[in-house]
Amino acid sequence: MALIVQKFGGSSVANAQRVRNVASIITDTYKQGNDVVAVVSAQGDTTDDLIEKAAEINPKASKREMDSLLSAGEQMSSALLAMAIEAMGFPVVSLLGWQAGFRTDRHYGSARIKAIQPERLKAEIDKKKIVIVAGFQGLNSFDDITTLGRGGSDTSAVAIAAALHADRCQIFTDVEGVYTADPRKVEGARKLKEITYDEMLELATLGAQVLNNRSVEMAKKYNVEVEVLSSLKRVPGTIVKEAAKMEKMLVRGVTKDTDVARISIIGVPDIPGIAFKIFSKLAAMNMNVDIILQSVGRNNTKDIIFTVSKANGEAAVTALKESIDCLEGLDILCDTNVAKISVVGAGMETHPGTASKMFEALYENDINIQMISTSEIKISVLIDLASADRAVSAVHKAFFPVD
């Protein structure tokens, strides 16, 4: 007998038929002699719909009231799922975040879980009940409802798995697992059996939207093995786990990120302190800077080029023009017609030649590289947006030949 935490995303419980399907996955697991805690997201687009409703009434609504509103989505789905299980004749109880012991910090809208007080959860499990928990929500020190940020139910599930030392944490979704590339777009993309936490984090940040980032960070911190699998097709998914327990793969996946703007500052004076001024200004504005490139100085000037998210592009240009004296009169350009293509794999640390293989694939397809950045487990290039899909396919084919 094992304790299994299962999480079902919004698309998995989108309508009555899907709620019943999820109920049967849960009860099948229970019938096999397991204890089950199931975490559920709001049905379908409920959260987006609630955000729209709020905007109709007050586009500047306080975050506190937004959290109170948005948590209702999970309140509904958790009760509905419990009703479906009741109808099948199984003992079940649904719990809201606060009833399940979720204590968070004060940050409405993107609260972090500080602790789970598991007594109630444990008591219900001891009574042999299937426990359904409303994901995405908790209670802060003012006894106010908080939410954990979009996609936060994954984190709720991993946190429960960690707090209860569950034997397994399964995240059910509408895809069958984590793939080497987007299977809808890239021919030959395959499902991975396993992936390390770090690789998953890179893939998540780079736009492979299977698991919420914070949930992977938490899984890594508490060493919770997470299985990502489909709620619609009962086949094995992908296991996210510690690197030490698995074979290193040279490249685990190829991703595309189109939420990128490239800022170029041309002809900056070649003196100390400029980079500091630029990047401390952006940091103060809470802007994440990704790839940074600085040219070698010539004629006492240099160029500094970097990327930020699309939404921050124009704001970065304006802020730099206005606030840094020595950039006055210089060309500061923002180009949003770019995309970042990355290969991710823990094995590249010990295998020279990964970068050249990637660059060769791009060259053979006549795709120009504008910027390059590397980390221990990732190589990213910035290219023209129009070539992005072609680039992903070409690079994917180089590392995962279609046979």
Binding site for ligand ASP (CB under 6 A): 9-10, 41-42, 47, 73, 135-136, 150-153
d(CA 134, CA 166): 18
CB within 8 A of 162, min separation 6: which ones?
218, 219, 222, 224
Residue nearest to Mg ion (CB): 10
**HSE of 37 in the Cβ direction (CA atoms, 13 Å)?**
33
Minimum separation from the CB atom of position 47 to Mg ion (A)? 5
Structure tokens at 301: 């000037």
Nearer to ligand ASP, 72 or 246 (CB): 72
d(CA 6, CA 39): 6
Minimum separation from the CB atom of position 6 to ligand ASP (A)? 14
Nearer to ligand ASP, 180 or 215 (CB): 215
Which residue's entry shows tokens 């709001």? 42
Minimum separation from the CB atom of position 399 to Mg ion (A)? 32
Structure tokens at 393: 């396919």
Q: Which does 150 bind (CB under 5 to 8 A by kind): ligand ASP, Mg ion, none?
A: ligand ASP
Nearer to ligand ASP, 150 or 321 (CB): 150
Q: Which does 146 bind (CB under 5 to 8 A by kind): Mg ion, ligand ASP, none?
A: none
Minimum separation from the CB atom of position 48 to Mg ion (A)? 8
Which residue's entry shows tokens 């509905």? 80
Closest by CA position to 26, among listed 268, 301, 234: 234
Nearer to ligand ASP, 212 or 342 (CB): 212
Minimum separation from the CB atom of position 74 to ligand ASP (A)? 6
d(CA 9, CA 45): 11
| CA 60 vs CA 54, 77, 136, 144, 327: distances in Å | 9, 27, 22, 19, 35
Nearer to ligand ASP, 42 or 381 (CB): 42
CB 70 within 8 A of CB 97: no
Nearer to ligand ASP, 224 or 391 (CB): 224
Nearer to ligand ASP, 152 or 345 (CB): 152
Q: Which does 135 bind (CB under 5 to 8 A by kind): ligand ASP, Mg ion, none?
A: ligand ASP
Nearer to ligand ASP, 74 or 194 (CB): 74
Contacts with Mg ion, residue ranges (CB under 5 A): 10, 41
Nearer to ligand ASP, 116 or 186 (CB): 116
Residue nearest to ligand ASP (CB): 153
Q: Which does 153 bind (CB under 5 to 8 A by kind): Mg ion, ligand ASP, none?
A: ligand ASP
Q: Which does 177 bind (CB under 5 to 8 A by kind): ligand ASP, Mg ion, none?
A: none
Minimum separation from the CB atom of position 153 to ligand ASP (A)? 3
Minimum separation from the CB atom of position 283 to ligand ASP (A)? 27
Closest by CA position to 255, among listed 399, 88, 131: 399
Minimum separation from the CB atom of position 85 to ligand ASP (A)? 20
d(CA 134, CA 76): 8
Nearer to ligand ASP, 153 or 380 (CB): 153
Minimum separation from the CB atom of position 154 to ligand ASP (A)? 6
**HSE of 155 in the Cβ direction (CA atoms, 13 Å)?**
26
Q: Which does 238 bind (CB under 5 to 8 A by kind): Mg ion, ligand ASP, none?
A: none
Minimum separation from the CB atom of position 23 to ligand ASP (A)? 19
